[in-house]
Amino acid sequence: MYYKSYYTSPIGNMTLCSDGNSLCGLWLENQKYYGGTIKEDMVECNKLSVFDQTKSWLDRYFAGKKPEYSEISLTPQGSEFRQKVWKILCQIPYGEVRTYGDIAIEMSSCKTKMSAQAIGGAVGHNPILIIIPCHRVIGSDGSLCGYAGGLEIKKHLLEFEKEIL
């Protein structure tokens, strides 16, 4: 069973999803792939400690603090490949960006060439926005491309994070 709760943020209303112990999803209302990794109905429940922890994390983030992703137990649902990409995203510091190509290089071994497009698919399907910072990934030419929450929100988050350094 999955549970959901809601959070009102400066960038819009958000839905939090948990399996009862860990955070499985954090989506903006009406974003692309909203709830896409959760294959069961979510029941509203506002009394889970992981929801309290996540809301506290988001409060601090939007107040200009720099909470760590490791403060919350995260269990995003996805393939092994996507899980590896999401772990790399968590290593991108506040105020910094990486390109899809940078992540492809980090993911590839000596024998395997990884495409930036494959990385883009994994980044785009990140089910835990902001905490797993997919907004910190940009195109090789520095362009803001691809964000499930919309490019204006991506731009806002990147500018906001530069200010809090």
Is 17 noted as a catalytic residue in this protein? no
Three-class DSSP labels, the chain: CEEEEEEEECCEEEEEEECCCCEEEEEECCCCCCCCCCCCCEEECCCCHHHHHHHHHHHHHHCCCCCCHHHCCECCCCCHHHHHHHHHHCCCCCCCCEEHHHHHHHHCCCCCCCCHHHHHHHHHCCCECCCCCHHHEECCCCCCCCCCCCHHHHHHHHHHHHHCC
Using alpha carbons only, what angle is made at residue 131 by residues 125 and 133, rounded to the nearest 5 degrees? 60
Q: Which two tokens stand for residue 4?
A: 């959901």
Determine which one of 17, 45, 90, 134 is catalytic: 134
| Residues with catalytic function | 134
